[in-house]
Structure 1
Amino acid sequence: MPTLSEARIATILAPFLPSPPPDILPKLSAYLELLLKWNARTNLTAIRDPEEIVRRHFGESLFAGLHLASEANTLLDFGSGAGFPGLPIAILRPEIAVTLAESQNKKSTFIQEAVRTLGLKAEIWAARVETMPQTIQFHTVTLRAVDNMVAALSAAAPRASNDLLLLTGLPPIPPTGFTFQKPIPIPTTQSSILLRGTRD
């Protein structure tokens, strides 16, 4: 018996994704169950409440997915953690080739298991993004809850051929070569914004 029904997940997601495609709900439900199971024995996220996980992690990630450029075909999730926002985006936008970069072994191992369990085509980069060959680029690079946003942005910018997409609090200074668009408030929170940087 799942922790939350698919109908309940859809209700919680309504402010972020008003009409979730029905085929994504079973995958989100399976992702939630796997995350709760792993989180009980290894700390992947400080949020323990299933509804709050759906709201904060799934909802914000899917909201970011809605605001990707329509032509986005490759995406790097920088410092993916337990897979946010990259995995929900991979579920919502299966046509995008998503790469999840996470250097912490326990988290990259979990992401690999989640990708396998959910039958996704996402790739895993189980190392620091800085070690990725300079020739590898992505249409969009996403950043959420990174430890040092300034350092992360300087490492992320060379990987983005078109866009940076940040889920953040205060807007940072844009890296050289990028311009930030008007911030978009993230639903149900007073402190988080979605910030899209486009290459000049």
Structure 2
Amino acid sequence: MATLSNSAIATLIQPYLTDKIAIPQTLLPQLSLYLDLLVRWNARTNLTAIRDPEEIVRRHFGESLFAAQYLDPAADTLLDFGSGAGFPGLPIALLRPEIKVTLAESQNKKASFLREVVRNLKLTTEVWAARVETMPETRLFHTVTLRAVDNMAAALAAAAPRASRDLLLLSNADAALPPEFSPHPAIPIPTTQNSVLLRATRL
């Protein structure tokens, strides 16, 4: 039995959706399966501190889908830096299937979970189960996303060289962007107190 019905998920993510992008018919059943896997794995492996399924949908799915709608329309490759349980990278891959998404997660248990979700959802998403710094230097991505990383300054220093065009941050703190990136106006994330979406483009 599904953790939440498709209609319940649709209601919960509605505040985060705009008219910027068409919603694929596959989105709700894919999110439902993703949620089921996350709740089951989270019971034995600490993937997220949020345990309530509705709050998972709002905070993780909703915020990630919101971010997906503000990506540069030209984005064709994306690196999710420190992906954790797959946010925002996996919802972006579901909403924007034309983007080739790579999930970078160095913690083995979390990387195993990401591979399980990718397999179950039949995605072509790559899981990079190591530190981003170990990628070949030639590997670049149009956009690099960062959300809820422990040390934003250190993460930005490692992430910036991988972004050929954009950085996209979901953050509740003022991030000191690398000087080679110019920020767009911050966009408040719906239903949150002080979280913003910050996109910055390479000069």
Q: Tell me the TM-score normalized by structure 1.
A: 0.98
Equivalence for 2:37: 34
2:16 pairs with 1:13: no
Kept in 1, the 8 Å contact 2:181–2:201? The answer is yes
Counterpart-to-counterpart distance in 2, 1:171 and 1:14: 27
2:132 pairs with 1:129: yes
Equivalence for 1:174: 177
Equivalence for 1:101: 104
Query: Per-residue deviation at 1:18?
Result: 4.8
Equivalence for 1:190: 193
Query: Which of residues 56, 61, 64 is equivalent to 2:59?
Result: 56
Query: Which of residues 88, 92, 101 is equivalent to 1:89?
Result: 92
Query: Per-residue deviation at 1:171?
Result: 2.0
Kept in 2, the 8 Å contact 1:171–1:195? The answer is no
Query: Which amino acid is the alignment partner of residue 3 of structure 2?
Result: T
Q: CA RMSD in A?
A: 0.9
**Structure 1: tracts of 5 or more residues without a match:** none
Query: Per-residue deviation at 1:174?
Result: 1.2
Equivalence for 2:149: 146
**Structure 2: tracts of 5 or more residues without a match:** none
Query: Which amino acid is the alignment partner of residue 137 of structure 2?
Result: Q
Counterpart-to-counterpart distance in 2, 1:88 and 1:175: 26
Query: Which amino acid is the alignment partner of residue 102 of structure 2?
Result: T
Query: Which amino acid is the alignment partner of residue 68 of structure 1?
Result: L
Change in Cα spacing, 1:27 to 1:2, as seen in structure 2 (3 Å) is same
Residue 4 of structure 1 aligns to a residue in which SS? coil
Q: Tell me the TM-score normalized by structure 2.
A: 0.96
Q: Deviations over 1:136-185 (max 9, x none)?
A: 00000000000100000011110000000000012211112101111100
Mean Cα deviation higher: 125-134 or 159-168: 125-134
Kept in 1, the 8 Å contact 2:18–2:69? The answer is no
Query: Which amino acid is the alignment partner of residue 32 of structure 2?
Result: S
Query: Which amino acid is the alignment partner of residue 9 of structure 2?
Result: I
Query: Which amino acid is the alignment partner of residue 108 of structure 2?
Result: N
4+ residue runs of structure 1 moved beyond 3 angstroms?
18-21
Query: Per-residue deviation at 1:22?
Result: 2.7
